[in-house]
Amino acid sequence: MSQIYRVIALQFALAISALCIGSVCAGQQSTAPVISLRYPVEISAEERAFVQALPTLQVSPYQHIPPVSFYDAQTESFQGISVDVFRFIAEHIGLSYHFVVDEGLYVDKLIEEFEQGQFDTLIPVSYNPERAKLGLFTDTYYEGFYALITRKAEQIQISSPEQLKQYRVGVIEKAAAVPYVQSLVPQLKTYAFNDGNTLYEALRANDIDIAVFNQSVFAQDRYRLELFDLEDIYTLYDYPRAYGFLFQNSTDNTRLVDIFNRYIAAIDSSRSVRQHENGEQRLISKYIEQQNQQKLLWLVLLLGAAVLIIVYRAYRSHQRIAAELVRSHQRIVRQHEALQEANRRLEHLSRTDVLTGLSNRRDFDERFNIEFSRHQRSAEPLSVLMVDIDFFKHINDDYGHAVGDVYLQKIAEVLTAMMVRSTDLVARYGGEEFVCLLPETDSDGAVNVAEQLRKAVMVLHAQCADVLPRAITVSVGVATLQGASCNQHQLVKQADTQLYRAKDSGRNCVRSIVLDHSVQCCEPLPLRSST
């Protein structure tokens, strides 16, 4: 009997230890730096001495715009992309600073206090001409956008900002986007709200049809507040929010801003962006943590009851209890496997466009970062194709969005068939626009793929006349990076520029560019075509 007790006690201790160790490991976070430099920043000994001689900078981080900046009550510290960037630069140049707690004030009140000189620096602030008069802005280190938020059940479809005028639109009353919204929507259909929570409540209560709100904040709130009945249906790319640091206007701060700008031009903040924008991962981690706690509690109770039963009835039921423990273990294993499968499904859904089954923008951005890093190491060419359906608005207008969805699905099938290598990727970039990533593909190869998919789309109508009432074509922009010093954003921008050229050339054609040392990466974009 004593041998049985020792075995059960040992199993009990091992199970508790394994679960506790697993919980600790699950709670550990990577200590790898989230900000790095893409190339060294030159700062002279005199400039470093100047910075270190400055008095301690009083800095007010704005708490209300995750992932850019927020106050984490759990760790009692400021978090976000802005905080990561500011800390990185300050520590590199030896700048003394102190974060001032703003007690939950909103940006208009903070700007008023900044004007009164209550602190030296405000982070972050989105640039506009009025705010630029208050002090010295650094260059942009993070760009965000406004999005159109609706109730999922309504299934509202927006393909251009001009369509807003037919809906009741809500916006935060002091937001930078208010003038832009008022230029699109009649005053009688525009509703102002104090904060994001009241805006969400009005949308869910059907007091408004569409909310214009910061896209990255909504991406966090959707998981933090479990707003799964709401969805982001359209991004206002023509009205970006450029975030910078706002310093008091002084001679010393003019020099300091110049030094900050040199670092801003060189930093790689992609890991910080991924960490703070990933609301889904925080939801999954919270769910897994709750599940682990529940399993630990139930296992303790189960094993405790088993020990009591064994003590009371060991001489009659040893075999039965042993079998019950085996079945209990099997149940735990099955639950664990079911949880893993649920996590895999959730991860797949988070990276997939629901309508077409292609990768979504998030999946493309992550793969693009990986391939761009590989290109920088190997110097192999890297090509991006931007594909846009010609006159797609006419399809939706003439036949309805259901038929338009069928066109999107059929063209997605064509694009998928063109991606013959495991390293190739096609994703839905937004609306009727798709993007293809072709690693280790030169300009000739990329243009050849573009021509093949353009021709394949042209024969869709003949093959699927029963569901595609009208012939349709695509325009394709191709950009190939080959030795030029460009970043990911510039490569995609150049592909987009070539797409505009294809549109301006009569559509149903391919236009391309090779980015090497003879080509400027940052060329101005033409105006976006309306169809």
pLDDT at 524: 44
Q: pLDDT tens across 298-317, in order?
A: 778 877 788 788 878 778 88
In a domain, 43, yes or no: no
What is the average pLDDT value for the chain, to the nearest integer?
85
**DSSP states of 326-369 as a string?**
HHHHHHHHHHHHHHHHHHHHHHHHHTB-TTT-SB-HHHHHHHHH
Average pLDDT over residues 248-258: 96
pLDDT at 175: 78
Q: What burial letters (b/e) apply to 451-474, b meaning 16+ CB within 10 Å?
A: eebbebbeebbeeeeeebeeebbb
- Percent of the chain at pLDDT > 90 equals 50
Average pLDDT over residues 71-95: 90
pLDDT at 222: 86
Number of separate domains in the chain: 3
Strand order in the sheet with 64-65: 64-65, 69-72, 77-79
d(CA 442, CA 33): 34
pLDDT at 526: 44
Residue bearing the bigger pLDDT, 231 or 518: 231
Is the predicted pLDDT of residue 7 greater than 60, yes or no? no
Please indicate, yes or no, whether residues 203 and 306 belong to a single structural domain of this protein. no
Is the predicted pLDDT of residue 94 greater than 90, yes or no? yes
| CATH number of domain containing 216 | 3.40.190.10
Average pLDDT over residues 243-271: 96
| CATH number of domain containing 456 | 3.30.70.270
pLDDT at 23: 47
218 touches 144 (CB < 8 A):
no
In a domain, 64, yes or no: no
Phi, psi angles (nearest 5°) of residue 320: -65, -40
pLDDT at 8: 55
Average pLDDT over residues 109-120: 91
Please indicate, yes or no, whether residues 391 and 439 belong to a single structural domain of this protein. yes
37 touches 88 (CB < 8 A):
no
Q: pLDDT tens across 24-60, in order?
A: 444 444 456 899 999 999 999 999 999 999 999 999 9
d(CA 336, CA 341): 9
Please indicate, yes or no, whether residues 329 and 375 belong to a single structural domain of this protein. no
Please indicate, yes or no, whether residues 447 and 426 belong to a single structural domain of this protein. yes
Instruction: Please state which of the ranges 252-261, 295-304, 349-358 shows the lowest mean pLDDT.
Output: 295-304
In a domain, 338, yes or no: yes
In a domain, 204, yes or no: yes
Answer with the one of 299, 324, 350 that is the final residue of a domain. Answer: 350
Answer with the one of 178, 208, 241 that is the final residue of a domain. Answer: 241
Average pLDDT over residues 441-466: 90
Q: Is the bond leading into 124 cis (omega within 30 degrees of zero)?
A: yes
Instruction: Please state which of the ranges 122-126, 264-268, 297-301, 367-371 shows the lowest mean pLDDT.
Output: 297-301
In a domain, 55, yes or no: no
pLDDT at 291: 67
d(CA 259, CA 268): 16
pLDDT at 10: 54
Please indicate, yes or no, whether residues 212 and 317 belong to a single structural domain of this protein. no
309 touches 319 (CB < 8 A):
no
In a domain, 37, yes or no: no
Please indicate, yes or no, whether residues 341 and 389 belong to a single structural domain of this protein. no
Please indicate, yes or no, whether residues 372 and 496 belong to a single structural domain of this protein. yes
Residue bearing the bigger pLDDT, 109 or 39: 39
218 touches 195 (CB < 8 A):
no
Please indicate, yes or no, whether residues 343 and 389 belong to a single structural domain of this protein. no
pLDDT at 26: 43
Please indicate, yes or no, whether residues 418 and 299 belong to a single structural domain of this protein. no
Average pLDDT over residues 87-110: 87
Answer with the one of 191, 209, 241 that is the final residue of a domain. Answer: 241
Please indicate, yes or no, whether residues 418 and 496 belong to a single structural domain of this protein. yes
Q: pLDDT tens across 362-415, in order?
A: 999 999 999 999 999 988 999 999 999 999 999 999 999 999 999 999 999 999
Q: What is the pTM of this model?
A: 0.46
d(CA 270, CA 487): 12
In a domain, 528, yes or no: no
Indicate the DSSP class of residue 188: G
Q: pLDDT tens across 170-202, in order?
A: 998 877 788 888 888 887 678 989 888 899 999
Domain coverage including residue 11: 2-26+282-350
Residue bearing the bigger pLDDT, 61 or 1: 61
pLDDT band at 21 (very low <50, low <70, confident <90, very high): very low
217 touches 224 (CB < 8 A):
no
d(CA 50, CA 72): 33
pLDDT at 22: 47
Please indicate, yes or no, whether residues 473 and 366 belong to a single structural domain of this protein. yes
Please indicate, yes or no, whether residues 445 and 325 belong to a single structural domain of this protein. no
pLDDT at 62: 81
Q: If you average pLDDT over each of 27-36, 70-79, 283-292, 423-432, which comes out highest? A: 423-432
In a domain, 344, yes or no: yes
Is the predicted pLDDT of residue 333 greater than 50, yes or no? yes
